[in-house]
Amino acid sequence: DPNNYRAGNPDLKPQVTDSYELGWQYRKGPASYLATAYYRESRDGVTDVVSDLGGGVFLNTRENLAKSRNGGLELVANGKLTPKLSYNISGNAFWNEIDASDLGFAGKRSGTTLSGRASLSWQATPKDFFQLNGFTSGRRLMPQGYREPISLLNLGYRRKVSDRLNFVVTANDVLNAFKDVTVIDTPWLRERAERRANVRAVFFGFTYSFGGGKARPEQFDFGGGAVGG
């Protein structure tokens, strides 16, 4: 629109990250549990930056951070509640610190974020499969402010027509909750921009498996195309 412009940056450098992780895994029958503690240091991370061009006109572009670091704990659990009802849950709690002194911002900024993803799958009959899939992410730090929490809920159904052919129905953002809010809070610029995308929709389709040989175990995730990841 006339008040908001976006420009690329051909001078961006690739981000370089040193990562240290310590993991633990436990399996028993259909259940599995995973815990990973991590610490990462990065330089030249790519971030969004907003500039005031005057007259109420803003320019959005990408720049490299001087450096950043983060650490946290990720937990994953998979298993069955009943022979026909299974679950998959993952959560991530982490601390993040960014240094944008190379962009003219004084000092370092830090904060904590919680995010998670969960799905509940029900094999109602040998041919009928249902899934409830949800995603949420807490407040995310930016050099000039932050992005508010985001969440999404999807539903899915699959009907097995044959060993190769499946009929699939997917409902995206069933609660109509998706929105992306960015808050800029600096001494020279204060802005709150809310973006709502019409991602609430129902899709109908078919999947067909080609080729011969032994069939692979069936795996399906209706949340793979969720908006806002």
Separation between Cα atoms, residue 35 and residue 206, nearest integer Å: 36
pLDDT value of residue 187: 78
Per-range mean pLDDT, top range of 11-20, 43-52, 138-147: 11-20
pLDDT value of residue 226: 40
Report pLDDT digits (tens) over 88-137.
Answer: 999 999 999 988 877 777 678 888 999 999 999 999 999 999 999 999 99
Kindly state the average pLDDT of the residues 174-200: 84
Report pLDDT digits (tens) over 27-45.
Answer: 998 899 999 999 999 999 8
Longest dimension (CA), the chain: 65
pTM value? 0.75
